[in-house]
Amino acid sequence: MRNNRPNILLFMSDNQSADFIGCYGNNEIKTPNIDLLAQNGIKYTAAFCANAMCSPCRASVLTGLIPSAHGIHNWLDDNLESQWPEDWNAIGEFDTFPDKLKEAGYLNALIGKYHLGKAWKSSDAFDHWITFPHGHTKSFYKNKIIDNNKTYEHEGHSVEFFTEKTIEFIDSNKENQNPFFCFVPFNGPYGHWPSIKGKPTNKFAKLYDDCELSTVPREGINKRVIDRFSNRILESGGSLPEQFSGPLLLPNNKDSLRNYFSQATLIDDGIGRILEKLRTSSMLENTIVIYTSDHGFSLGNHGIWGHGMAAWPSSIHRPSFNIPLIFSGPGIIKGVSETFVSQLDLANTLLDLADAEKLKGHRVDSKTLDLSDLNSQNRQMLFMEQEESRAIRNEHWLYIERFNKDSLSYLGSELYDLKEDPDERNNLSNSVSHKITISSLSKELSQYYDKFSDPKFNLWTGGSAKSNVSNPSFWKKAWGSKWKTTI
């Protein structure tokens, strides 16, 4: 007999806001399996990531720590891998929730994108390890694969490959007496060139041939996107790889937009196949299934395409940070919850479901969600950061504060009244009548980061970052020429 603790299956997409899933209101993108998962479980509409870049978010999900506590402030640049220590795990010094699950007797598998250091050797928290060595997806095809102790090239689509490997893992553990935790971070729909450049070639390509793309905003490019691109040109001293021009060229490229949609549907199809394997193996009734993404993604919203760092200063508008979050399985209520949830809460919520020891420590900010109550609220406000930008969001306000020091004071703050201006268009930060509101929110922001950040990794107080930041010259200007990133 299998013990009564549930299996846990965590799906994570790469660069996908809640706006681009059918059950969250998008009538063009086809995600029937995710929609069904939401119908059979709880769907959170106000779930937000801690940062809008790949590596920081993944680290925050696993550790329950904000970027200013774990030290990863930007995507870990594959081009710097030669500078990283051998077998470097960027969060290796911290407890993670997979560590705690393993201590509780779970068999842990990672099948998908890692992007938290060198992937050639499995993290100690995982018993089964299938990934690839890079974080940036240049193509969905012909990827080098790390399959436990083997490496090889897979010709086909990486999402379909990770789907097949997850099905194999489930099949091989259906007689196992111990429960499993299977983390499946798909490397799609992604949304960047060159992976989505041109017409899609996957099996759902024709589904979007005539899609009008009416759910994709059509706005002029935000000046802050142009400023970011210009900064990158200056920093590089010349031309840039094609991927960096994407935010300027992608918003009106219909082939790429349809390509992005098709990749999302391919992920949905993989999820359906994996859930069917659980069903036919009589394992679904004892498996908690979660769907989320690493962070949100702007597809032209506010004139921005891509991550939070696609603009300078960063975008902390809702599309960059609002993530899908769905739980389904035994003991989980069915319905829609509008309560605030941080992706930090995943760690201790999953440990609670597994009856395992929680992540502890005065810098851990992972709250346990009550999945039996749609109205249970653990947070009155959410906090987000993106290197030089920090934000607080509550039911009424979104306040964004920028790091300012001496000659860097040109970075302006932003305040949005979410009741009157839910699309975050009217910046009230210069309004005299809102000074008291700004002062109060700024104080809450400071208190939060004073409490949960580690001075070693707090960029705003002279701390550093692991591996790389988006704008090193900015931080050198703030803290002096000797400031540098660390490992």
- Residue-wise pLDDT for 360-384, tens only, equals 999 999 999 999 999 999 999 999 9
DSSP letter string over 432-461? GGGHHHHHHHHHHHHHHHHHH--GGG-GGG
Rounded to 5°, the CA angle 408-414-416 comes to 175
- Of 173, 184, 185, 13, which is closest to residue 106 (Cα–Cα)? 173
pLDDT tops 90 at residue 330: yes
Go through the chain and tell me how many residues it has: 487
Give the residue, 241 or 96, on which the prediction is more confident.
96
Least confident of 40-44, 308-312, 346-350, 466-470: 308-312
Rounded to 5°, the CA angle 198-259-164 comes to 120
Q: Beta strand pairing status for 325-328 and 143-147?
A: unpaired
- Residue-wise pLDDT for 38-63, tens only, equals 999 999 999 999 999 999 999 999 99
DSSP letter string over 463-476? ---BS--S-HHHHH
- Residue-wise pLDDT for 411-438, tens only, equals 889 999 999 999 999 999 999 999 999 9
- Of 343, 290, 369, which is closest to residue 10 (Cα–Cα)? 290
In this prediction, residue 2 carries a pLDDT of 40
Distance CA 51, CA 387 (A): 9
CATH superfamily of 7-375: Alkaline Phosphatase, subunit A (3.40.720.10)
- Residue-wise pLDDT for 223-265, tens only, equals 898 888 888 777 777 777 766 777 888 888 999 999 999 999 9
CB 97 within 8 A of CB 72: no
Where residue 409 falls among pLDDT bands split at 50, 70, 90? low
Angle between the 345-353 and 54-63 helix axes, to the nearest 10 degrees?
40
In this prediction, residue 1 carries a pLDDT of 29
pLDDT tops 60 at residue 90: yes
pLDDT tops 70 at residue 141: yes
In this prediction, residue 75 carries a pLDDT of 95
Q: What is the Cβ-side half-sphere exposure of residue 262, based on CA atoms within 13 angstroms?
A: 25
Question: Considering the chain, what percentage of its residues have pLDDT values greater than 90?
Answer: 87
CA dihedral angle for residue 210, residue 214, residue 216, residue 218, rounded to 10 degrees: 110
In this prediction, residue 411 carries a pLDDT of 83
- Residue-wise pLDDT for 98-118, tens only, equals 999 999 999 999 999 999 999
pLDDT tops 80 at residue 357: yes
Beta strands in 49-179 (DSSP E): 107-111, 128-131, 143-147, 150-154
Question: Considering the chain, what percentage of its residues have pLDDT values greater than 70?
Answer: 98
Mean pLDDT of 129-152: 96
Mean model confidence pLDDT for the chain: 94
- Residue-wise pLDDT for 142-189, tens only, equals 999 999 999 999 999 999 999 999 999 999 998 888 999 999 999 999
Distance CA 88, CA 79 (A): 15
Distance CA 371, CA 18 (A): 19
Q: What are the strands of the beta sheet with 382-386, ordered from one edge?
A: 382-386, 389-393, 397-402, 414-417
In this prediction, residue 3 carries a pLDDT of 59
